[in-house]
């Protein structure tokens, strides 16, 4: 039976003829059933949340379920290893709705739409906190209406107001779980001393507010959920979205989803409404308000790098994969060495790195040890062109390049100077990270520390050029990409070593694997 009903909800009483004609066509039993179903859906929308789009269309609910980006959060929520969720993006991308759904699911101990049980390390009533920006402009006008819209009428709830008249404490009568609403403008000391299972931040909190609340999650192994348009509070991007473990590796317990206002078109918004909103914005506001890209993100050199699609857990590198090595060194700072493998499909993997101080001999021997220990099929070892005229040249006039070239040749490896075509290298690198076909072609082992750190933080400076600060590994990276290495089966490289020897001896012979 469809919820869609062609007749008006109010009968025309001013026109007796029209009223009489209409009454003759009404099946009052069907009319009452449909009205009852409409009321049931309207008061319990969260229970019908994941129904298919076809179901919602057939039933005439005017709703299509979660948008694709919201669905990503729903799918990941049952993964017990994930502790921090972020849903960032433009205005009206469905951030408050997904936050309310997850708050209710935590209180109920299950997804209210299908009964999927959620794991908790205890059997006590759950405690949820929802942090809004301020009481009058945000909590009362945005958060409270959303809570009331989505709370199922079939489920009893007790509500208590605070001293500003906001419904600040919700108690689920069935489970005795609670939802407490607090303000980001309240002193951080008032957020202390709490213990709970979930904290939801509707818009970015102050850092001290986050710290005060996060302490309360320790005992119950609780979660954080950041739903926000990042107009300010850039620390959230650095410390939450791009969080790292103590050893410098990316924190895999963080799950990030970024949405645009356009992702919610057809799921509560229309393109007409979005276009009207667009007209009210200044050019510098559009990216932040519509796409959720804060101004400080415009300066990122590698915007296509995303942990969720480019990081991979380490595995044994197949012996036939082609491995290139790139070296960036400075006389007084750490050496940076990056290893990149190419597989039979042409996909690239950043598989190893060296970051530290040492002499040319120490670093060169460490490269050889890694290559031999892991049985890497080394193709080309490249180095910054400045190595040919460096300040470490000895009395005999031998540069770091000369000495490393001799060292590597003894083990059958070829050293060459790297390209400095940074502009094209960056373009090629971004395309590998996420191509025009919307597929990643370059992956990073997630136990690498320095490389993903630099990839996420590499920015353009005030002159519009890639920053020279913390850029050693990314310099190596774009130079590795410029090699254009292609996979060649081991049996097809009869003249491979000869090409390497010719190159090392100054011959311009081309390498069959790289084409250079």
What is the homologous superfamily of the domain 68-297 according to CATH? P-loop containing nucleotide triphosphate hydrolases (3.40.50.300)
- Cα 442 to Cα 429: distance, rounded to the nearest angstrom: 8
The pLDDT score that the predictor gives to residue 80 is: 94
Mean pLDDT of the chain: 83
> Tens digits of per-residue pLDDT, 330-347?
888 899 999 999 999 999
Cβ partners under 8 Å of residue 409, min gap 6? 415, 504
- Cα 178 to Cα 184: distance, rounded to the nearest angstrom: 19
H or E stretch at 18: helix 16-25
Residue 405 contacts residue 415 (beta carbons within 8 Å): yes
**What is the residue extent of each domain of the chain?**
68-297, 310-504
The pLDDT score that the predictor gives to residue 501 is: 45
Q: What is the dihedral of CA 484, 488, 493, 495, to 10 degrees?
A: -20
- Cα 65 to Cα 207: distance, rounded to the nearest angstrom: 33
The pLDDT score that the predictor gives to residue 57 is: 61
Q: Is the pLDDT of residue 232 over 70?
A: no
Q: What is the CATH number of domain 310-504?
A: 3.30.420.280
> Tens digits of per-residue pLDDT, 118-172?
999 999 999 999 999 889 889 999 999 999 999 998 899 999 999 899 999 999 9
Name the pLDDT band for 506 (thresholds 50, 70, 90). Answer: very low
The pLDDT score that the predictor gives to residue 461 is: 77
For tokens 């490249």, name the residue: 382
Mean pLDDT of 417-425: 89
Mean pLDDT of 431-438: 88
**pTM (2 decimals)?**
0.62
Q: Is the pLDDT of residue 498 over 80?
A: no
The pLDDT score that the predictor gives to residue 14 is: 60
> Tens digits of per-residue pLDDT, 361-405?
999 999 999 999 999 999 999 999 888 775 445 555 688 999 999
- Beta strand 311-312 with 254-259 is unpaired
Give 32 or 91, the one with higher predicted confidence: 91
> Tens digits of per-residue pLDDT, 442-494?
999 999 999 998 998 888 877 778 888 889 999 999 999 999 999 999 876 65
> Tens digits of per-residue pLDDT, 234-250?
678 878 888 888 887 88
Mean pLDDT of 255-283: 82
The pLDDT score that the predictor gives to residue 6 is: 45
The pLDDT score that the predictor gives to residue 62 is: 62
* Joined tokens for residue 236: 């959230």
In Å, the largest CA–CA distance within the chain is 111
- Cα 72 to Cα 93: distance, rounded to the nearest angstrom: 13
44 phi and psi angles, rounded to 5 deg: -140, 40
């Amino acid at each position: 039976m469809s919820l869609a009903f062609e007749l008006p909800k109010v009968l025309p009483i001013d026109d007796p003829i029209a009223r009489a004609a209409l009454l003759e066509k009404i099946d009052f039993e069907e009319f009452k059933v449909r009205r009852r179903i409409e009321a049931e859906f309207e008061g319990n929308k969260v229970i019908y949340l994941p129904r298919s789009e076809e179901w919602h269309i057939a039933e005439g609910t005017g709703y299509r379920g979660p948008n694709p980006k919201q669905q990503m959060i729903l799918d990941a929520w049952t993964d017990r290893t994930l502790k921090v969720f972020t849903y960032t993006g433009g205005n009206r991308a469905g951030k408050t709705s997904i936050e309310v759904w997850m708050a209710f699911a935590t209180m109920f101990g299950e997804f209210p739409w299908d009964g999927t049980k959620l794991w908790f390390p205890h059997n006590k009533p759950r405690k949820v906190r929802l942090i809004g920006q301020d009481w009058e402009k945000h909590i009362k006008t945005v958060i409270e209406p959303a809570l009331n819209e989505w709370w199922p009428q079939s489920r009893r709830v007790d509500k208590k107001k605070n001293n500003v008249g906001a419904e600040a404490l919700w108690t689920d009568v069935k489970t005795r779980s609670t939802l407490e609403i607090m303000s980001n403008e309240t002193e951080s000391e008032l957020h202390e001393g709490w213990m709970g299972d979930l904290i939801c931040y509707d818009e970015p909190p102050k850092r001290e507010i986050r710290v005060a609340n996060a302490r309360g999650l320790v005992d119950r192994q609780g979660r954080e959920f950041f739903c926000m348009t990042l107009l300010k509070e850039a620390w959230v991007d650095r410390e939450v979205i791009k969080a790292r473990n103590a050893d410098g590796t990316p924190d895999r317990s963080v799950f990030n989803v970024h949405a645009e206002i356009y992702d919610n078109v057809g799921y509560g918004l229309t393109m007409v409404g979005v276009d009207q909103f667009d007209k009210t914005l200044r050019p510098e506001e559009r990216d932040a308000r519509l796409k959720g890209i804060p101004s400080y993100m415009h300066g990122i050199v590698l915007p296509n790098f995303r942990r969720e699609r480019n990081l991979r857990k380490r595995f044994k590198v197949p012996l036939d994969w082609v491995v290139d090595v790139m070296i960036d060194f400075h006389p007084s700072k750490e050496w940076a060495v990056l290893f990149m493998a190419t597989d039979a499909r042409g996909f690239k993997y950043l598989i190893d790195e060296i970051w530290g101080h040492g002499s040319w001999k120490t670093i060169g021997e460490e490269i050889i040890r890694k290559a031999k220990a892991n049985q890497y099929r080394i193709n080309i070892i490249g180095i910054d062109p400045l190595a040919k005229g460096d300040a470490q040249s000895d009395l005999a006039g031998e540069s770091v390049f000369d000495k490393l070239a001799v060292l590597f040749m003894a083990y059958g490896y070829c050293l060459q100077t790297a390209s400095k075509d940074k502009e094209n290298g960056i373009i090629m690198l971004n395309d590998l990270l996420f191509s025009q076909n919307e597929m990643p072609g370059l992956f990073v082992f997630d136990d690498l520390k320095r490389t993903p750190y630099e990839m996420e933080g590499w920015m353009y400076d005030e002159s519009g050029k890639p920053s020279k600060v913390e850029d050693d590994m990314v310099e190596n990276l774009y130079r590795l990409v410029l090699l254009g290495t292609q996979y060649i089966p081991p049996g097809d490289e009869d003249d491979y070593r000869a090409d390497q020897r010719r190159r090392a001896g100054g011959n311009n012979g081309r390498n069959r694997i790289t084409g250079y």
